[in-house]
Structure 1
């Protein structure tokens, strides 16, 4: 997410399409909020990558149909966090820490990793 923000700062007119193996239900909205114009999971990219590239190149946002429906439903419901969507409620920094905890790092290791790899300059 930090890389997307940096790219948009350097070139505001850049159209960014994220192709990732990470679950779109967790990361696509974060990517769009960071400045990307689309998000495609690698597992379906082969079928849809051409359409996604064309859509983003045309200045539109590309998301899967199921994710678009989910986002519209969330907006219609007042943007409430639904059961099972707790990860979506985490900030980008909290998500990074959560992933590092999942990798078995303790507090000191998390702090060193965040300080070393944080491109936003925030560190820990």
Structure 2
């Protein structure tokens, strides 16, 4: 039987040890490497012949799971990255999927579910924990029902305000100064705007803002 070759990327040694014991006990799995942060994970992924990378999201040192996953998919487009995290949060889920993750599962999940998730992504299929799948479908259906003409209603008043400034070419610092908020808050709002409108670039935002009449060039 061919074993699924797995790399563990998590900053907690105890977590990696527990996962290694669980996975190596499976007849079709073997942990061939461990890494404590994203940078180390990327380096090992390039050296090892891997099938699945089990990736944590929150790693204080080095790269986090989002940027690591995105980088890995650039250099190893066929690699299967399964996110294993404590974050039961839609924003984390969407960011992970956009980065190229093949699956998303919570650390609170039973061992049997994790094993099933690994086997699922190994076969080239996507895996999401049950409640995440339900929320993802509901979110898509709600967006589809609203349609583009009503998509502006997905944005909060503050997000509409920030969108207008972004479209007019203001920098994050300039927007923060005008609204008396932090640059980090501006960046967070911009990320949520892109997520809600399903855009990936600033030109899309500009075009959308013009279409919706959000740009005031007399400001």
Length-normalised TM-score, structure 2: 0.35
The secondary structure found in structure 1 opposite 2:143 is coil
Q: Describe the superposition over 1:43-73 as per-residue Cα deviations: whole angstroms up to 9, x where unpaired.
A: 1152411110011011111101111111111
User: Structure 2: where are the runs of 5+ without partners?
Assistant: 1-65, 145-150, 157-181, 185-219
Q: Does the 8 Å contact 2:117/2:127 carry over to 1?
A: yes
CA 1:24–1:49: 2 relative to 1, 3 Å? farther
Runs of 4+ with >6 A deviation: none
Q: Does the 8 Å contact 1:19/1:45 carry over to 2?
A: no
The structural deviation recorded for 1:23 is 2.1
> Which of 102, 108, 129 does residue 37 from structure 1 map onto?
102
User: How many residues are matched?
Assistant: 87
CA 1:70–1:51: 2 relative to 1, 3 Å? same
Matched, 1:73 2:138: yes
> Which of 109, 115, 118 does residue 50 from structure 1 map onto?
115
Which runs of structure 2 are paired with 1:3-18 in the superposition (5 Å)?
3-18=68-83
In our comparison, the structure showing a higher alpha carbon Rg is: 2
The structure with more strand, counted as a fraction of residues = 2
User: Structure 1: where are the runs of 5+ without partners?
Assistant: 84-106, 111-124
